[in-house]
Amino acid sequence: MNKRPIHGGNLLSVSEQYKINADNWIDLSTGLNPNAFPVSAIPMEIFTKLPYDNPDFIESAMDYYGQENLLALNGTQDAIQALPNILAPHPVLLPEVGYQEHLHGWQLRGNDISLYPSWDMSAAIEVIDAWIEKNPQGHVVVINPNNPTGLMFPVEVLHKWARNMAQGSYLIVDEAFMDLTPEGSLLCHELNDRVIVLRSFGKFFGLAGLRLGFAFGNQDILNALKDRQGLWAVNGPAKYVATQAFKNEAWQITARAQIQLLAKKNQWLFTRLFSELNVNRKSTQGLFTSYWLPTIQAQALYDYFCSQGILLRLITLNETQAVIRIGLLDMSNAQHLAKLNDTIDQYLNHRKY
Ligand SMILES: Cc1ncc(COP(=O)(O)O)c(C=O)c1O
C-alpha cells in the first residue's frame, strides 16, 4: 500500500517529535493567507438546518469563478481522490514535484504513471507535448501555479494540450493557488470538454478548516463526482461563510494587494539567511516562497528551525536537491517576528552546512 504524503500544517506530529507544545509553534509550513476572511457571527439556524442546495451560495460561487458548470466539494481533496476512480484507466502524466495527493491517488488506482519536470517551464512543455502526442488516450495533471515550484503554464499552452487529447482523456488543472492571479485561470475562458479545473477555497481566503473547494468540467464529470459524494458533502457554515466571502469584492481586492506586500516583506526577512547560504534559486507565488538548496543543507535548516519551534516545509527532490517552502508570517505579531529574526541569527552563527 502507498504511504500517504506528509502535508504542511500537521503541527501535532512535529510537536511530538521535537517535544514542543503544538500551541508554541510558528507555523510557516502552509500556503494559507494569514489574514483570513473575517468570519462574522453565524446564525444558529445555519447549524441547526440541513445544508440543502442554496441558490445564493451557488450563484455567488458562479460569479466569483466566472463559470456556471461547477460542483461544490468538501475541499478539492475530495475530487483529487475521486478522479482516478471515475476516469478511464488510461496512462497518466503527473508533475514530478507538486501536491503529492495527485500522485498518491493515481498510484492507488494503479494507472500507468509518467512524470514531467515541474520546475522547468521549457523542459516541462517539451515532455508534456511529446507525451500527449504519444498518448492521446491519456490524462495529464497540471498544478497551476505549481505548489511548491511556482511553475505556471500559460492558458494557450493548456488549451493546446486539451485540444490534442482524445475523447475520454482529461487535462486536470489544479488551480488551488490561482486566486492571486485570476486572469491566469482557465475559468476566464470557455472550458474545453476535456478539461477539469479544481479550485480550493481555503488558501486565498485563509479558511482551510472550513473544507471547501470546487470542480469545473463537463456535466458527465460533475455528475460522476456528485454521485461519489455523500449527501450534504458541504456543510452549512462553509456555504454561509463562502457566500459572504465571494460577494465581498472589496475584501478580495485588498487581500490580493496585502498578500503580495506581505510576501515581499517575508522575503526580505529571509534575504540574509539565503544569501549567506548561497541560495540562488527561488520561486515566489505570493502565499509561499520556495528556495532550492542542497538536500543536506535543507534538512539541517529545517531541523534547526523545528528545534526552535518554527515549522518550515521541506520537500526533498532527490539525494542532492531539496526545496524549503516558507509560508507567510503575519508581521503584526512582534513576538513571532523577533523569534524568527533571532533564529535566523543563531542558525547563521552555528550552522554546519
Ligand atoms: C496544490 C494543491 N491542491 C489541492 C490541495 C487540497 O486543498 P483543499 O482540499 O483544501 O481544497 C492542496 C492543499 O494543500 C494543494 O496544495
Can you tell me the distance from the alpha carbon of 262 to that of 329, in angstroms, rounded to the nearest whole number?
8
Give the domain ranges of the chain: 11-30+251-350, 44-247
> What pLDDT does 350 receive?
85
Tell me the torsion sign for CA atoms 6, 78, 330, 288: positive
What is the 8-class DSSP label of residue 247?
A: H
Question: Which residues, 6 or more positions from 300, have their beta carbon under 8 angstroms from its beta carbon?
Answer: 351, 352, 353
Pocket of ligand 1, beta carbon within 6 A: 75-77, 99, 143, 147, 174, 176, 200, 202, 208, 213
Dist. CA 134 → ligand 1 center (Å): 30
> What pLDDT does 8 receive?
66
- Class in CATH terms, 11-30+251-350: alpha beta
Can you tell me the distance from the alpha carbon of 58 to that of 54, in angstroms, rounded to the nearest whole number?
6
Quick one: cell of 213?
A: 473547494
Can you tell me the distance from the alpha carbon of 199 to that of 106, in angstroms, rounded to the nearest whole number?
19
- State whether CATH 3.40.640.10 applies to domain 44-247: yes
> What pLDDT does 53 receive?
86
DSSP 52-104: ---HHHHHHHHHHHT-SSEEEESSTHHHHHHHHHHS----EEEESSS-THHHH
Chain CA centroid to CA 288, Å = 10
> What pLDDT does 1 receive?
55
Which atom of ligand 1 approaches the CA of 146 most closely?
1
Quick one: cell of 58?
A: 451557488
Query: Which residue's alpha carbon is nearest to atom 16 within ligand 1?
Result: 99
Low-confidence stretches of the chain (pLDDT beneath 70): 1-2, 8-9
Can you tell me the distance from the alpha carbon of 258 to that of 269, in angstroms, rounded to the nearest whole number?
16
pLDDT, one tens digit per residue, over 214-235 is 999 999 999 999 999 988 999 9
Is cis: bond before 148, omega within 30 of 0? yes
Which atom of ligand 1 approaches the CA of 200 most closely?
11
Can you tell me the distance from the alpha carbon of 291 to that of 305, in angstroms, rounded to the nearest whole number?
15
Instruction: Report the DSSP beta bridge partners of residue 215.
Output: 71, 198
194 membership: H or E segment, kind and range = none
Dist. CA 30 → ligand 1 center (Å): 10
Question: Which residues, 6 or more positions from 11, have their beta carbon under 8 angstroms from its beta carbon?
Answer: 22, 25, 27, 311
> What pLDDT does 33 receive?
98
Which atom of ligand 1 approaches the CA of 74 most closely?
9
What is the 8-class DSSP label of residue 118?
A: T
pLDDT, one tens digit per residue, over 225-271 is 999 998 899 999 999 999 999 999 999 999 999 999 999 999 999 99
Query: Which residue's alpha carbon is nearest to atom 14 within ligand 1?
Result: 99
> What pLDDT does 219 receive?
97
